Structure 1
Amino acid sequence: MLILAQALLLVISLYLAVMWIRFILDWARVLAPRFRPRGILLVLFEFVYTLTDPPLKFLRRWIKPLRVGPVALDLAWIVLLFGILLLRYGVQIWIFTGLR
């Protein structure tokens, strides 16, 4: 059971890293709108967006962007990030205190 919990923790941590990569790629697109990825960067973009788009689209059904003047903040990304962090914290507690 410990191996399963540690594997789950690893998967959650990797997904958390992919979420941060998505954050960086989104900002790269905002700061350089003419940029079009090619080659290995295109593969990276596609991989990251394929993994992160389904849960974000699901959350965006109910959580609309927050308008602050001309800027819209995507709260779905923040909610998903906190959800992943809570899940990781719960698995860590499960590993370090229980697993009985």
Structure 2
Amino acid sequence: MILREIVLAVAQVVDLAFSIYIFIVIARALISWVNPDPYNPIVRFLHNATDPVLSRMQRVLPLSFGGIDFTPIVLLVGLSFVQRILKALLLQLAYSF
């Protein structure tokens, strides 16, 4: 019974972490449409939080067409997919106890 609650709590934390990172990627994509101040702490945070993943993806999947980078969209779809699968697996594990 306690193990079930722990796994359910872990599932909620994992779901929340993915949701927060999805919002960070969306914010990064939105600020790329304007000319943000690179010294702004929020802009630096968004770049520092997303650059490691986006730069790797851009090397593997060059999805820039006509000056528009579609890598954040692919990342958002991938994050949503992994989020749903992990949450479903953790919930299934929790209810199997």
Tell me how far apart the structure 2 counterparts of residues 91 and 28 of structure 1 sit (CA, whole Å). Answer: 34
User: Normalising to structure 1: TM-score of the pair?
Assistant: 0.76
Is 1:14 matched with 2:15?
A: no
Amino acid at match of 1:36: D
Q: CA deviation at 1:96?
A: 4.8
Where do residues 69-88 of structure 1 align in structure 2 (5 Å cutoff)? 71-88=66-83
Instruction: Name the residue aligned to 1:89.
Output: 84
Instruction: Name the residue aligned to 1:60.
Output: 58
Tell me how far apart the structure 2 counterparts of residues 17 and 56 of structure 1 sit (CA, whole Å). Answer: 14
Q: Is the 8 A contact 2:14 2:87 kept in 1?
A: no
Tell me how far apart the structure 2 counterparts of residues 93 and 9 of structure 1 sit (CA, whole Å). Answer: 10
Q: CA deviation at 1:91?
A: 2.9
| Aligned residues with identical type, % of pairs | 24
The aligned length equals: 89
User: Normalising to structure 2: TM-score of the pair?
Assistant: 0.78
Match for 1:23 among 29, 37, 54?
29
The unaligned stretches of length 5 or more in structure 2 are 1-6
Q: CA deviation at 1:66?
A: 3.8
- Secondary structure in 2 aligned to 1:77? helix
**Greater relative CO, 1 or 2 (CA 8 Å, sep 6+):** 2
Q: CA RMSD in A?
A: 1.9
